[in-house]
Structure 1
Amino acid sequence: MSVSDPTFQASEFLQLLEAGLGNDDTRKKAIAGAKAVIVFTLKNKDGKDKSWILDLKKDGTIKAVEGALPKSDVQLILKDADFVKLAEGKANGQKLFMNGKLKVKGNLMKATAIEAVFKQLDPRPKL
């Protein structure tokens, strides 16, 4: 199943993340840095929830989740727009958490590593 979903702003970033994981060196660094299975559950502007699983423990893949959520180390629950801001580095995960815009289920320490992983996996040129 494709990570793309046109009803979510995060779709473009998730595709970039998937492309970044396609590079062997980048994937190995991401797995070494996170060592976690992370589930993102996002709510779009229409109120629809959708989840993606990012496996940075074994195979370094990202995919959309259908049905029940698989076992993970941490689940991040937030609005689609806030996820995009977080992924682009325009929002701070700790501030989102403190303001109640980011909910974390599971290992909070694993959640703190995700911002660094986003920066590492983003294949866009750094200006």
Structure 2
Amino acid sequence: MSVSADGFNASQLFETLQEALKDDKLAQKAIKDVKAVLVITLKNKGGKEQSWLLDFKNDASIKKVDGVPKSDVQLILKDADFVKLANGKANGQKLFMNGKLKVKGNMMKATAIESVFKAADPRPKL
């Protein structure tokens, strides 16, 4: 099932992560490190909202969802800010302090997601 959403730059990141999680070793590490169900709700330049469910509690899966399902933590931010955050070009704490990132639920679980994106990053580590 595609996790891509028209008009969202983050779609590529979710597809990359979904592909990376097919590696059982990475999937098991993600579950071990995060132990949570996360919902990431993004708003694009056109004002459209889309949510993705990242299950790092049961099966290390990603789904594009309508509405906001029950989760341990929800991150709400702009598509562009999420892309910067996932690429390590923005600091989650700074985005949060500046009101660009809203967190509902367990904030400690929200910080754990960063390690999953780093582990799934296909770019060479320098």
Per the TM superposition, whether the score is higher than 0.5 is yes
Partner of 1:104: 103
Q: How does 1:56-71 map to 2 (within 5 A)?
A: 56-66=56-66, 68-71=67-70
Gaps of 5+ in 1: none
* Matching of residue 41 in structure 1 with residue 44 in structure 2: no
**Alpha-carbon contact 1:19-1:123 (below 8 Å) kept:** no
**Alpha-carbon contact 1:43-1:50 (below 8 Å) kept:** yes
Shift of 1:2: 1.5
Partner of 1:31: 31
Partner of 1:83: 82
Distance 2:118 2:13 in 1: 11
Gaps of 5+ in 2: none
Number of residue pairs the alignment of both structures matches: 126
**Alpha-carbon contact 1:34-1:56 (below 8 Å) kept:** yes
Shift of 1:122: 1.9
Which amino acid in 1 is paired with 2:23? Answer: N
**Alpha-carbon contact 2:5-2:50 (below 8 Å) kept:** no
Partner of 2:12: 12
Shift of 1:125: 2.9
**Alpha-carbon contact 2:41-2:51 (below 8 Å) kept:** yes
Name which of structure 1's ranges 115-124 and 55-64 shifts more when overlaid on structure 2: 115-124
- Aligned to 2:83, the other structure's residue is in SS state helix
**Alpha-carbon contact 2:50-2:65 (below 8 Å) kept:** yes
Shift of 1:124: 3.1
- Aligned to 1:113, the other structure's residue is in SS state helix
Distance 1:34 1:85 in 2: 21
Name which of structure 1's ranges 29-38 and 112-121 shifts more when overlaid on structure 2: 112-121
Same amino acid, percent of matched pairs: 68
Q: Once superposed, which parts of structure 1, at least 4 consecutive aligned residues long, lie more than 4 Å away?
A: none
Distance 2:37 2:26 in 1: 17
**Alpha-carbon contact 2:34-2:109 (below 8 Å) kept:** yes
Shift of 1:116: 1.3
Shift of 1:77: 0.0
